[in-house]
Amino acid sequence: MAVLAIARLTVSETIRQPVTWLTIGVSIALLGLTFLFGQFNFETQDRLRMVCTAGVAVAVVNGLFLAVIGASQCVHDELSSRTALTLFAKPLSRGSFLLGKALGIWLTITAAAAIIAALHSLVMWYALYTGFELDASRRDFVGHEDLWVPWREVIWAHALALCHSAVMTCFAAVLALRLPLVSNILLCFGLFVASHVVAGMGLSGLVVLPALNLYQVDDSIQLPDHPLSLGYLSLTVLYTVLYCAGCLFIGLSMFKRQDIA
């Protein structure tokens, strides 16, 4: 119950932060731009592929910013203002505090992701219906129902984006226990870049670095003969749970020996 109480309080605090609504607003604007940019491609099918991929990328970036900035700020503010001392004076363990903070940030990201996923689906449907013409009566192609739209893969890709956000949330929350706010944010973004650079070198994570490339399923979205399997989705979710659990366990081990007085 203590974890849920901390999570609920964290959600309430996070949704009042201007950066949360700014990030969501920018994401919504980017979804609109994906439709406009699609008009610069000659093939309608390629336009749809771009809209599908770009919408998922927007969700990933939105989750990344909310996870890193939100988790870093909420944990750092509690410790620097000594508010955590008041919480620990009550029957609240440090583990419940850390888990509640991470869960609260992730729930906020989930709510934002639901909005983005719904709008992304709307943009995809509108693009399919109009053929990227602002006026549906000016569609320059016939048989738009024959175009391939990877609805299932896009939905699963949004689910994997939430898993990506969970990993970054836990990592940012743990680092915030020791690092200053700005340093923590920069290090988390550096971790994001390093993880993808390592993946480009043929390595899928190095234990410390999360295998963030697992959450990229662009091939399944763009190519009909590369469907996203339920087995891959299940194993990726399992990896997310294990990595987040390990990250929080290490953070709690350090937190128990940390003096915040």
Mean pLDDT of 58-64: 94
Tokens at 212, concatenated:
């963030």
Tell me the Ramachandran region of residue 207: left when phi exceeds 0, alpha when psi lies from -120 to 50, beta otherwise: left
Instruction: Tell me what pLDDT residue 87 has.
Output: 62
Provide the residue ranges of all domains of the chain, joining segments of one domain with +. 2-256
What are the tens digits of pLDDT across the range 123-179? 888 877 776 665 555 555 444 556 677 888 999 999 999 999 999 999 999 998 888
Q: How far is CA 215 from each of CA 81, 105, 115, rounded to the nearest angstrom? A: 36, 19, 20
Determine the angle formed by the axes of helices 94-130 and 151-175, rounding to 10 degrees: 150
* Average model confidence (pLDDT) across the chain: 83
Q: How far is CA 110 from each of CA 115, 135, 136, 225, rounded to the nearest angstrom? A: 9, 33, 33, 30
CA distance 260 to 242: 28
Q: How far is CA 212 from each of CA 161, 164, 205, rounded to the nearest angstrom? A: 10, 7, 8
Centre a 10 Å sphere on the Cβ of residue 97 and count the other Cβ atoms it contains: 21
Q: Read off the pTM.
A: 0.88
Q: How far is CA 63 from each of CA 99, 136, 253, rounded to the nearest angstrom? A: 18, 33, 27
Centre a 10 Å sphere on the Cβ of residue 237 and count the other Cβ atoms it contains: 15
Residues in the chain: 261
What are the tens digits of pLDDT across the range 71-96? 988 888 777 766 655 666 667 777 78
Most confident listed range (16-20, 22-26, 97-101): 22-26
